[in-house]
A and B are shown apart, each in its own frame.
Chain A
């Protein structure tokens, strides 16, 4: 097939578009394709520029150091990691978990625009409510179980039996 535009070269780029069920076709050579910005074939000329989450946040904050928020809040430092909001504006990253307390007022309006809601819904850490005593017990149990494996692998069956009893007792079996 010859190029639709120049009619001389072989058409190497074929564009088929469906808009509301209507088909539109374009067959051109590589040279003439340059005059058709809508032809986005080939990955490098794709101009693929998805709005990444980080960009989204940056956009709402205003890019770079000069953003308004950066200037106003320049004095505030996170007590734990010493980060400021202008550090955040540069990298898009907070310095430590406590930054979310320090900068809560600044971050909440941004999250309101970018997330479904600013209140966590979903899993919570399993050990969050765990009693320290239980935790100690879990750790002890785990180390006993490791010891048990070791004894079995070393064929020290008598010692293994003792450990097994200890584990049973701890589990209240």
Chain B
């Protein structure tokens, strides 16, 4: 679970993950919301499945229609598929064994190719996603024209079709009430900030995703460089804010970090909201060196592993689940 979260990845005190996502469509046929049934099987799904799931490949195909609602939600929580794909019974996803590569079929576009890696790694993220895109491109003719670049169902993805998203734990900006300013500031740089699970989602555990807003008239390398430059600066700014907060509110912050630790360590049951709140505070404390019962990455992993759909088991009551959540956390934090 969440095996793409690696220990010792860069800037992991602030950054949870970096993701590159490339939107592509097959030329000559309508986009998923207008496509004919025979085309979606023959021209969209089959070439990708043959390419990545043929004999000897360890890639895994999951058809949405074969998954329960909860199984689909769990894949969203682990960032393997988008919320959009959950509602599409004709959709499917092909994943690498560790879940770091996923190719969504019949999402908003015919293909959404994604690579997810721990820490701040925009170059690596784009490189791997780009390679997968090229592999698929040897079996499929992509919809493209010279003016608009790669053609996508929504014009906001035209051009490169590339979005790089960096998931950040912005506790310092949240505590100092600076998220709103950040939002307008990033907008001026062609970046957007949103909740952890994409468009319209609410932020969880002070985690936000920063991504490029523009895709046309800008090359893949420029998108990667912009993310490197601006998100790099934001990482430093978050560290600065944390240090100022700590310097000026030492007792208060230490108190809340130790309280969070105390509850995480000793509670007999824990809701998802509570777990997120205390894990966020603990991660903040670890990054400031207030205490070190585990690494930040362990905490990010717990955040994902204790999400409701991921944790859920059939025939288990909500209380039993909350008990299990507390136990899972206590195995990691000591």
Contacts and interface: CB of A to CB of B under 8 A. Distances in A.
The answer on A and B forming one complex is: yes
A15 B30 CA distance: 51
A126 B134 contact: yes
A125 B142 contact: yes
Interface in B3-48: 25, 27-31, 33-34
Nearest to B202: A43
Given A53-B154, A81-B34, A125-B144, A150 B248 contact: no
Contact of B149 (A14, A83, A92, A120): A120
Size category, B interface: 35 or more
B301 interface: no
B27 A111 contact: no
A15 B177 contact: yes
Interface stretch (B96-104, B113-121, B209-217): B209-217
A93 B177 CA distance: 35
A57 B156 contact: yes
A146 B55 CA distance: 9
B153 interface: yes
Interface string A100-132: 110010010011001111111111111110000
Contacts of A54: 154, 156, 199
Contacts, number: 164
B202 A48 contact: yes
Interface in A72-90: 80-81, 83
B244 interface: yes
A140 interface: no
Size category, A interface: 35 or more
A40 B180 contact: yes
Nearest to A112: B217
B33 to A, nearest CB: 6
A51 B202 contact: no
Interface in B121-146: 130, 134, 137-138, 141-146
B87 interface: no
B159 interface: yes
Contacts of B241: 18
A110 B158 CA distance: 12
A97 interface: yes
A169 interface: no
B147 interface: yes
A50 B134 CA distance: 32
Nearest to B192: A50
A146 to B, nearest CB: 7
Given A48-B202, A54-B154, A57-B155, A127 B138 contact: yes
Which of A17, A50, A110 has its CB near the most chain B CB atoms (within 10 A)?
A: A50
30 contacts: A15-B177, A16-B245, A17-B176, A38-B177, A44-B202, A46-B202, A48-B195, A50-B183, A52-B199, A53-B192, A54-B199, A57-B154, A80-B30, A93-B153, A93-B154, A94-B153, A95-B31, A97-B145, A100-B151, A114-B156, A115-B158, A119-B217, A120-B145, A120-B216, A121-B218, A122-B159, A122-B221, A126-B138, A146-B54, A150-B55
Interface of A: 14-18, 23, 38, 40, 43-44, 46, 48, 50-54, 56-57, 80-81, 83, 91-97, 100-101, 104, 107, 110-111, 114-128, 138, 146, 149-150, 153
Of all A-B residue pairs in the complex, the 7 with the closest CB atoms, nearest first, are A117-B217, A120-B149, A53-B156, A97-B143, A116-B217, A96-B30, A122-B219
